[in-house]
Amino acid sequence: MEGTDKLRNYIDRNINEETRKTTHQWLQSLSDNELENLLAVGWGETPAPMPAEAATMLDTQLKNIGIPVTAPRPFRVLRLVRRMVAAACIILLTGLFFLQKRKSTVPVPAPPTQLANTSMHARKVTLPDGSLVWLSPGAALTVPANYNTGRRDITISGEGYFEVAPHTTPFRVFAGGLEAHVLGTHFNVEAYPGEKATTIALTAGSVAIRIRRDSSLVLKPGFKLISRPATQQVTVRPFVKEREIDWKKGAFVLDDVPLDAVFSRLEYRYHKKVVVNANLSGKARFTGTFNNTNLPDMLTNMAFVYGFKWQVTNDTLFIH
């Protein structure tokens, strides 16, 4: 099909949808000069006479919108219509061209960086601003691409100890429904997936914690905030600083942790699936620091306190 016929059929809609899409793509590929030349071809032809009744009605409509009636009617109408069509086509295709260009030049935001600790030991991470974060086994940080370029926002899952570099830009940590704002301080965060509580323990400096949209508080060194979103309970109590961060040195530290959460943390640390086949009390909680992190020794200690039996088979830990 010749270019002129393709354009005419496209304008008159004398083609099926598939051909129309193909023609539309072809028109978009033309340069401005090619499109102008295509629209000019065959427009000097003398059109067939217009019926008298239709001509009279058209004259009236043209006068009403301020267009003078001077040229012979068929030529005048055809020239007017074709100019309107040409202008519409040029505007449409030019608009589509710039829209496509705009889409292709709009920068795509860079994805955030995921920093995960897949080992069985604490991992130290240095952020772009010099802040230090120790991640417990199974913990992960999400650091946006624009970190330290106007804001310092990060999200943590699991447990992490922060030593925030002083800076005029506030440092914000999002964890388990809590939002901590600091400028330069040291604190520990526990936000394990699946656990009912999120904890922030401050060892130095100060931190403002937003608990809900309309509620926040300032934590002092040596105090720990425990938030339970499901029941909207918030508790602040003192803690022993040295014991809180012993896990950085490799210890397994538990401070009033529910027994089911203890087993979950063992999964993260030792990369084993835990299957519990015992009716353990849901109120049972465990506090202790294991400097000897040999798994059998730890399980033997816990089993003595809570009266359960355990067995490790390959990569699965069974609690009976």
Pairwise CA distance, residues 103 & 95, whole Å: 12
Pairwise CA distance, residues 291 & 88, whole Å: 78
Contact 219, 226 (CB under 8 A): no
Residue 77: predicted pLDDT: 44
Residue 115, phi-psi category: left (phi > 0), alpha (psi -120 to 50), beta (remainder): beta
* Residues of the chain below pLDDT 50: 1, 43, 71-81, 85
Q: Flag whether the pTM goes above 0.85.
A: no
Residue 51: predicted pLDDT: 61
CB neighbour list of residue 50: distance below 8 Å, 6 or more residues apart: 58, 73, 74, 77
pLDDT in tens, 93-140: 555 555 555 555 667 778 889 999 999 999 999 999 999 999 999 999
All structural domains of the chain, each given as residue ranges with its CATH number in brackets, are 3-105 (no CATH), 109-249 (2.60.120.1440), 251-320 (3.55.50.30)
Burial per residue of 161-171, b for 16 or more beta-carbon CB atoms within 10 angstroms, e otherwise: bbbbbeeeeeb
Residue 80: predicted pLDDT: 45
